[in-house]
A and B are shown apart, each in its own frame.
Chain A
């Protein structure tokens, strides 16, 4: 059997041959035991796979799986954070971002003073390209928090002012 004949057998099995060609193959099969055996093998394999579809279950909970999709949908819908914006709105937005950075440092200073510790020079140099970033440092515990506006929601602790310290 040539390779072309073998492939034709497969096409016959899959119903991909034109009617005339299919009749010719059927006639050939009736006379060629080797071809008939090969067709039998292809049929068995196809039948085995037809029953196969193993019930594969998603290995994550509904909520967790959806939360990642939802986040991507929100990101895709939000404007690109680094795209240059023009006009007065962009100017004031950048101005407030810079003011926000200084305000967070001032808060850290106030906290340090209120706890009676000497403030150390700011260690964190914040990248302000991502507007809405806010930095907070607890000198006592040695923890620094950088809060990002990515995804779109902003704020360190929703409903709780940044100056509230435990």
Chain B
């Protein structure tokens, strides 16, 4: 019995170590570029409605727009170096690990327009946004990849 308990304890320790090693080594994230509007349809044929759980989270934010369209989506991994992700020809994000948090930079036309440090636990979303012409908005949504 004692032997089994020791084995079980060792297995648990090993699993925890592996998990933390994996977490420290790399983090899988997803970035989406979303267009927010009051119109039910987007004039851009390449747009598709944002996925349901993202829409639900966006609806919980104090922004007036009611319809969200996904323009692009990229999965990426944050390891030791910063990950650079192009979401459009003018918009990119760079993410690097900063201890248990993430240092996130938003780039517009190659220039950093915002930088912040943020924790991003599973199930949560970080949304960077700004006004766009035509009474609409652009949003960059960051979350953990499934």
| Complex contacts, B99 vs chain A, CB 8 Å | none
- List the A residue with the shortest CB-CB distance to B56: A141
Q: Is the CB of B44 within 8 A of A61?
A: yes
Q: Does B129 contact A (CB under 8 A)?
A: yes
Pick from A61, A133, A143: contact of B58, CB under 8 Å: A143
A152 to chain B, nearest CB (A): 8
Q: Is the CB of A146 within 8 A of B60?
A: no
B124 to chain A, nearest CB (A): 4
Q: Does A63 contact B (CB under 8 A)?
A: yes
Q: How many residues of B contact A (CB 8 A)?
A: 38
Q: Which of A128-166 contact B (CB under 8 A)?
A: 129-130, 133, 136, 138, 140-151, 153-160, 162-166
Q: How many residues of A contact B (CB 8 A)?
A: 45
Q: With the chains together, A69 CA to B43 CA distance in Å? A: 16
Q: With the chains together, A159 CA to B114 CA distance in Å? A: 25
Q: Is the CB of B64 within 8 A of A142?
A: no
- List the B residue with the shortest CB-CB distance to A164: B62
Q: With the chains together, A158 CA to B38 CA distance in Å? A: 13
Q: With the chains together, A116 CA to B5 CA distance in Å? A: 42
Q: Does A60 contact B (CB under 8 A)?
A: yes
Q: Is the CB of A153 within 8 A of B131?
A: yes
Q: With the chains together, A158 CA to B125 CA distance in Å? A: 23
Q: Does B115 contact A (CB under 8 A)?
A: yes
Q: Is the CB of A148 within 8 A of B129?
A: yes
| Complex contacts, B126 vs chain A, CB 8 Å | 144, 146
Q: With the chains together, A60 CA to B114 CA distance in Å? A: 29
Q: Which of B78-102 contact A (CB under 8 A)?
A: 90, 101
Q: Is the CB of A158 within 8 A of B128?
A: no
- List the B residue with the shortest CB-CB distance to A68: B90
| Complex contacts, A155 vs chain B, CB 8 Å | 131
Q: Is the CB of A124 within 8 A of B134?
A: no
Q: Does A123 contact B (CB under 8 A)?
A: yes
- List the A residue with the shortest CB-CB distance to B54: A143
Q: With the chains together, A64 CA to B71 CA distance in Å? A: 12
| Complex contacts, B127 vs chain A, CB 8 Å | 143-146
A107 to chain B, nearest CB (A): 9
Contact with B along A14-28 (1 / 0, CB 8 A): 000000000000000
Q: Apart from A142-B123, A142-B125, what 6 extra A-B contacts exist at CB < 8 Å?
A: A123-B119, A130-B114, A144-B127, A151-B132, A154-B131, A157-B63
List the interface of chain A (C-beta within 8 A of B). 60-61, 63-64, 67-68, 70-71, 74, 81, 123-127, 129-130, 133, 136, 138, 140-151, 153-160, 162-166
**8 closest residue pairs by CB, A with B:** A141-B60, A142-B124, A153-B131, A157-B64, A143-B57, A148-B130, A61-B43, A67-B133
21 intermolecular pairs with C-beta atoms under 8 Å apart: A61-B43, A64-B43, A124-B116, A124-B118, A125-B117, A127-B115, A130-B114, A141-B60, A142-B57, A142-B121, A143-B57, A143-B58, A144-B124, A146-B116, A147-B130, A148-B129, A153-B131, A157-B64, A158-B135, A160-B62, A164-B62
